[in-house]
Structures are given as C-alpha cells and as structure tokens.
Amino acid sequence: MKTEFPSKSEIVRSWYVLDASETALGRIATKAAKVLMGKHKPGYTPFLDTGDHVIVINAEKAILTGAKEQQKMYRRHSGYPGGLSETTAGKLRATRPTRIVEEAIRGMLPKTKLGNQMYRKLKVYAGDRHPHQAQQPTAMSAAAQ
C-alpha cells in the first residue's frame, strides 16, 4: 500500500485567534504550537509544514504561575565576549510584552528550517486588536481539553 503525502497545492491553511488573557503561558504555547505544526489535522506529516496560521491577542495579560515573574530569566548573546544579556520575565513584560509568548511558542517548535517556517505563521499582539480581519480567523480556546 502506498502512503499518500499532501502536495503544496493540497494544503489548506486556516487562521485561528487565540486569546491569551487570564490563561497560563504554557497552555497558550502548547495549543499554538500544535496548530502551527499541523498536529490537529488528520493529514499531519512530520516533515511537511501542514499547519495553520495563529494570531495570539492579549499577550500582555498571559499568566506566569508561581514566582516566575521575578525568577524566570530570558537570555540572549550578542556574539561578542561578555555579551550575555539577562532579563527577568517581569522586566521583559514591561518592555516587550509579546516576546514572552513568542519565546514560549518558539521553544515548542522544531529547531530546524521547518520550525522557522512554522514560526513565521505566528502573529502575536499585546492588545486585543489585530490587522488580520480580512483572513476571517476562527476563535480558538486555550482551555485544557
């Protein structure tokens, strides 16, 4: 029996809106990563990008449980000696509230070119407005199922 793989023209991409307000960061990230990879579709193929687009709104209202607001560190390196920069989640939320959600979702995607392609379908906004109304996105819940 021959295994059928979807061609690029057969892949239908939908748009989903995920409201992050009053929801734990991990729940938002797992739901978004699953949709970006296409694991919610019956024709999921690990080596093809069959996922859909995800719009995350109200990223500034996502909840970090416990003492993560003060203890969780975000690190980046400039590439120069001594170029490590560390920022707590609280400071990062004050300056770039979307970065926390973006980093959480990106960490759940594959670390390959395919993962980068999936990540480009993610749009994160701090407030409750987004410029993607023309795509007629479907509302999606981050609640446990």
pTM of full prediction above 0.95? no
d(CA 117, CA 112): 9
What confidence tens digit (pLDDT) does each residue in 22-76 have? Answer: 999 999 999 999 999 999 998 899 999 999 999 999 999 999 999 999 999 999 9
Residue 145 has pLDDT above 60, yes or no: no
Domains belonging to the chain, first-starting first, are 15-140 (3.90.1180.10)
d(CA 88, CA 71): 6
- pLDDT confidence band for 142 (50 / 70 / 90): confident
Residue 102 has pLDDT above 80, yes or no: yes
Helix, strand and coil in the chain, % to nearest 5? 30, 20, 50
Provide mean pLDDT across the span 5-28: 93
